[in-house]
Structures are given as C-alpha cells and as structure tokens.
Amino acid sequence: MTVLSSRPDGLLERLAQTEAEMMVVTHLANVRYLTGYTGSNGLALIGPDRRLFLTDFRYTEQAEAEVDPSFERRTVQNRLLEALSDVLPDGEVRVAFEQEHISVGQHARLAEHLGSRVELVGLSSVVEQLRAIKDESEIERIAEAAELADAALRRVIGEGLEGRTERDVAIALELDMRRRGAEHPSFDTIIAAGPHCALPHARPRDVDIRPGDLVVIDWGAELDGYCSDCTRTFSIGEPSSEARRIYDLVHEAQVAGLHAVRSGADGRDVDSAARDIIEAGGHLQHFGHGLGHGVGIDVHEAPRLSQLSEDELASGNVVTVEPGIYLPGRFGVRIEDLVVVTDDGCRVLTSMSKELTVVE
C-alpha cells in the first residue's frame, strides 16, 4: 500500500467518531492530498467500502494518470455535487461535507438534489487535521522547495539590490525560481524597502531601492505541489544604529521562538516565547501578527502559532517562525524560518543566514 492509498484510512478513522457514514471532499487541496489529483474540478466520496472520484470530461485523462488506483474514477456530465445523487447507496444515509468549503447556496442545491433520504452532516477541518502532520515524502518535498527558493534568492542578491525597483527584484526572483523547476511562487513575493517594509504584506512597487534602506524579502516556491516560505531582511549599505538594534531584537525573538518549538508545545506558548522578548524591548505594539503558521500543500494551513491558537504542536508539523517589528513611516524587520517539528525541538529547512547582511 502506498502512502497516498493509506490517507483515506485516516479520514475514515475520524469519520467513525461522527454520525456520518461517508464524506464528500470538495476542497481541491484536500482532494489532492487524498487522491493525488491536481486538476481544478474534482471531488472525492469516501466511505468504509467506497472510494470514488468524480470529475468532468476535461480531466478524464488527467484523473486516470493522477488519481490513486484505490479510487474508482468516473466522468460525469452535470455538476459534480449534483451527480452525487446517482452514486450514493440506496436507502437512508448520512453524508458528511466540508462545511467551511461549501457555500450556503451549494448546500441548498446539494440538499435539493439528494432528497430527504440523505442527511447532510457538516464537519470542520477533518482533512486539514490529517494534512497538518506531514509524512517523510511531504517533508522532503517541502525541503526541496525551500532549497530551491534559497538558491534563487542568493543569485538575485548576488546581482545587487541598490537602484533596482522592488518590482524588478520580485520579477527576477520569481523567474529564477521557475527556471529552477518551481511550478510557481507559493504566494505573491514581497519586496519592500525603506518605509514600505513597515507594511507586513507590502506589494512590490516601481520604486527604486536606495542606500540606507532596509529591505524585507518574503518569498517561497511551490515544487511538486508543496510550498516553502521564508523571510529575510537586508540592509542597503551600513544600517543605522536604530535599525541594527531593532534587527537584533527581532533576531533574538526569532531564536527564542525556534527554541520553544517541539512536539507537545502549545501554539500560544510558542508565540509567547518570541512575543515576550519583543514586549520587553518596548515594541509589543509593533508586532501585530501571529508568530507562525503551518505550511504544506497550502502556504497557510494548520497549526497556528499565535495568541489565538488552540493547537498543540506534533512531530511532523511544518511551521514558520516569523516575528517582526514594524515602525510606521520608518522601516520594518521580519525574520522567518520554515521548520519541521520533532519530539525534542525542530529542524530548520531554510538555509539563508540570519545575520544582518549588508548588500549594495
């Protein structure tokens, strides 16, 4: 049995704890995780004695090539959710659905087509909980994506930053990642210089990077369906004493966050390990986001590291650790690593130096 073939078994174990007898999976990232399918229209129906994949004519051949052989594959003519009425067993049946991924309108149409014999049971994040713990093949793919992304940034940085626009650097970095084999960036690349890097999710502009700027670069690659995510902050020429002090504070907080990561750790506690240092440095009001998030098929997934987290870390989680300080109108600093959670700590997948690097 392949790793892919065994994944629906984990779903069935969780399904057995509910009142549902089968589950329809519609969120494409979850469909991919369970079946291997990478197209844009498909769903999976999974029960103790049934594994069925549905798609339309456009993806028949793709499904034959990608969907795990443990699934029966069917091509249907109508909408996929409506086609479920023809493939469910006779008699009364309770079918679970992903309540955070089906709209009110879709639910109404589904209930109408299935009729009163089918009871719909809304479940939340069932597949996402499975996805949160990566197997070795997933970790290997994420590590390869991180390695590719790091190599691309090293080349781009080696060509210098001063005088180039934020947008030009972003384009060069994304193009280099694609040339190295990335399917595409994990997310829209952030290149932010000077006062602009005080925006945590700044968009690259047609504005030159100038001497004296700090430059925040947040980038990642998607490779073989899995994402990487990393952030580094650079200085164009020698930084000011204040910029270096803020950088050192963020660096200290980031290292403390890394040291707090381990199996069994509470997401809030890991966040606090870094947040407490920033608070002691007088900049708590300038760190307004959580410390990190899970990464895998999606660049943002479970578990969360934040003061709002209800997650406990487990061996096999892949998470970011990314504290930042953002001084509006002046500059910002963020340092982010991608790590695998282990029983006694974590393994860092990103390899770029975290010392404040001066570039021209």
For residue 145, what pLDDT is reported? 98
**pTM attached to this predicted model:** 0.95
Mean pLDDT of 311-319: 98
User: If 0-12 CB within 10 Å is exposed, 13-18 middle and 19+ buried, where does residue 125 land?
Assistant: middle
Per residue in 50-81, pLDDT (tens digit) is: 999 999 999 999 999 999 999 999 999 878 98
Per residue in 123-162, pLDDT (tens digit) is: 999 999 999 999 999 999 999 999 999 999 999 999 999 9
Q: What angle do CA 256, 261, 265 make, to 5 degrees?
A: 120
For residue 171, what pLDDT is reported? 98
Residue 130 CA to chain centroid, in angstroms? 14
- pLDDT more than 90, % of the chain: 91
For the chain, count helices (H), then strands (E): 10, 20
Joined together, the tokens standing for residue 257 give 């966050």
For residue 135, what pLDDT is reported? 96
For residue 2, pLDDT over 80 is answered with: no
Give the pLDDT band of residue 288 (cuts 50, 70, 90): very high
For residue 116, what pLDDT is reported? 86
Least confident of 58-67, 87-96, 200-209, 281-290: 87-96
For residue 296, what pLDDT is reported? 98
Give the pLDDT band of residue 326 (cuts 50, 70, 90): very high
**Distance of alpha carbon 103 from alpha carbon 210, whole angstroms:** 47
**Distance of alpha carbon 245 from alpha carbon 251, whole angstroms:** 10
Give the pLDDT band of residue 1 (cuts 50, 70, 90): low
Least confident of 66-80, 104-118, 181-195: 104-118
Tell me the domains of the chain and their CATH numbers: 3-131 (3.40.350.10), 136-359 (3.90.230.10)
Please report where in the chains the tokens 């469909």 appear, as a residue: 31
For residue 47, pLDDT over 90 is answered with: yes
For residue 28, what pLDDT is reported? 97
User: What is the average pLDDT score of the chain?
Assistant: 96
